[in-house]
Chain A
Amino acid sequence: MLKKRIIPVQLLLDGRLVKTNRFGEYRDVGDPVKSSRVYSDQRADELVFLNISRDQPNVKPLADVIAAVSKVAFMPFAVGGGIRSFDDAAFLIKNGADKVVLNSIAYKDKDIITRISERFGAQAVVVSIDARRSSGGGYVLKSACGTVTEDITLAGHIKACEAAGAGEFFVQSIDQDGTMAGFDIPLIKDACRNATVPVIGCGGSGDYNHLRDAFLESGVSALACGSLFNFSDSNPIRAKAFLSNYGLPFKVV
C-alpha cells in the first residue's frame, strides 16, 4: 500500500534556513545540512528546499546546498525557487535534486515543463502553486513569491500544467503560511479534485490535529510543514505515531 508522506519544507535565503509568515517576516532557523540530517533521522519522507532569495542571479548556491545535503540524507529532495530555464533545472538535478519545483516560470512558459518532463520524466517536475483566498470566494493564484497576481483559475492552471507534463503539484496557502492555524483544506481538496497526479498540501500546520484533518478530509498524498518542525518540539516521528491512530499508513524502513 502506498504510504502518506510528511515533508519538512526548508526555505533558503543566502544559504541559511529561514521561515516566513504569510510570505514575509523572515526568521533565521538554522543550517540546512544539519537540519536535513536530523529530518532524515526523524523519518521524514522527503525534503523540499525552496530558495526565496529574489536577487539571486542563478541557482548555483541552491545546487551547492543540495550537493552537501545529498551526502548526509538518503531520501528524495524536491528543489526550487528561481528556476528560469531548462538548464537551471538540469543543473539542480545533476547536483542531487530528484525533482525540481517550478512556480513563476510555470505560468509564463509551459514549454519548460515539457522539456524537463521529456528528459527527466514527469515525476521530476513539481509545479508549485501559491494561492490566496479571494474576497469573492475561490482563490487567486500568485507568482514571484506572492507579489504578482496571475489571471488563471486553480483548475485551469492545474489542467494546463498537467497537459504540459507536470508530475506533481505543491499547493500552498499564502493566507495560512506561518500562522500554525491549520491547513486550507478546501484549497487542498480543490487541487486534489482537479489533478490526476499526486498533490502535496502546504501552509498552516501548527499541530498534529491539523495534519490529521487535512489527510482525512482531502485524501491528499502528502503534507508539507515548515513552522511545525522549525519552531516546536514536534517532529515527523511523533506526527506519524499520532496519525497512525487514525488509520493513516506511513513507511517502515
Chain B
Amino acid sequence: MIGILDLGMGNLRSLSNAIDHNGFDVQVTESQAGFDDFTHLIIPGVGHFRAAMGAVLERQLRPPIQAFAASGRPVLGVCLGMQLLAATGTEGGEMEGLGLIDGTVRKLELGPDFRIPHVGWNSLTKTKDHPVYEGLKQDRDFYFVHSFAMQCDDRADVLGETDYGGPVTAAVSHANVVGFQFHPEKSEASGLKLLENFCLWDGVC
C-alpha cells in the first residue's frame, strides 16, 4: 500500500490518480494511522513552507514521519513536500524542516529576465544514477511550479538539476529518501514512469 500524506495543502487527487493509474494500491491519510500498513510514503504539497510545516507539527507528524524514514521504507517528497524534507526552510522566516536531507530551502535568486514563480516545463538533468531513474532518458521535461528551491549541504544528495537562470535543485536523494521539486503526477509519461519506479523501489540504492 502506497501512503499519501494529506496536509491540507493542495491537489492530492492527481497524485493518488497517478499512483492508481500505475496499478498500485493507494491510500490518502491525514494522520499517522495506517503508517504501519504503508510500504512507501509520499509527502506532497504546494504552498507555503511555514504553513505546511505548521500542519506537520500540529498533527504531531514529525516523529512518525522520521520513524517511517528510519525504518528504511522509501519516502518521497513532491514539490513543497520535497522542501519539507530539508533541515531548514526560510519561507515566512527560518524554520526547522523534517531534517531528512541536509540542506536549506531558499527563495530563487535570478536575473531580471527570469520570472518568479518558475512555472512550466523544464528539463531534468540527472546528476547521478538512482533506481527511480530506471528507464528515464536524460533531459526529459517535467512540470515545475515553485518560487523556492533546496540547496543541499552535501553535493552527493543532489539527484537532478534544472536550468533556470543557473542550476536549480530539481531532485534530491539520501539513502531511502527522495524528493522531486517538479510534479511527476503532472508530467505525463515521464512523470508516471518516475512514480512507478518509486513504487517498485525497495529503498536500497
A residues apposed to B, CB below 8 Å: 1-5, 40, 43, 45, 67, 70-71, 74-76, 93-98, 118-124, 167-168, 195-198, 221-222, 250-253
Contact = CB atoms under 8 A, between A and B. Distances in A.
Given A124-B46, A252-B141, A119 B9 contact: yes
A101 to B, nearest CB: 14
B14 interface: yes
Nearest to B122: A2
B29 interface: no
Nearest to B123: A1
Interface of B: 9-14, 17-18, 21, 46-48, 51, 80, 115-123, 139-141, 143, 145-147, 163-164, 183, 185-192
B121 A70 contact: no
A198 B10 contact: no
A70 B122 contact: no
A38 B186 CA distance: 16
A223 B119 CA distance: 14
Contacts of A95: 11, 13
Contacts of B121: 2-3, 5, 45, 250-251
Given A123-B145, A123-B146, 16 more contacts: A2-B121, A4-B120, A74-B14, A76-B186, A93-B11, A98-B14, A98-B46, A98-B145, A119-B51, A121-B48, A123-B46, A123-B147, A197-B115, A198-B119, A221-B115, A253-B141
Given A1-B122, A2-B118, A124 B47 contact: yes
Contact of B21 (A74, A97, A124): A74
Most chain B CB inside 10 Å of its own CB: which residue of A71, A93, A252, A253: A253
Contact of B10 (A45, A124, A167, A196): A124
A70 B14 contact: yes
B120 A45 contact: yes
A197 B116 contact: yes
B188 A75 contact: yes
A121 B46 contact: yes
Contacts of B17: 70-71, 74, 96
A119 B185 CA distance: 21
Contacts of A222: 120
Contact of B80 (A45, A118, A121, A197): A121
Contact of A98 (B11, B120, B139): B11
B56 to A, nearest CB: 15
A168 B153 CA distance: 32
Contacts of B183: 76, 98
A1 B144 CA distance: 12
Nearest to B13: A96
Contact of A97 (B11, B119, B190): B11
21 contacts: A3-B121, A74-B17, A74-B187, A75-B187, A94-B13, A96-B14, A98-B11, A98-B46, A118-B47, A122-B147, A123-B117, A124-B10, A168-B117, A196-B116, A197-B116, A198-B117, A221-B119, A250-B121, A252-B139, A253-B187, A253-B191
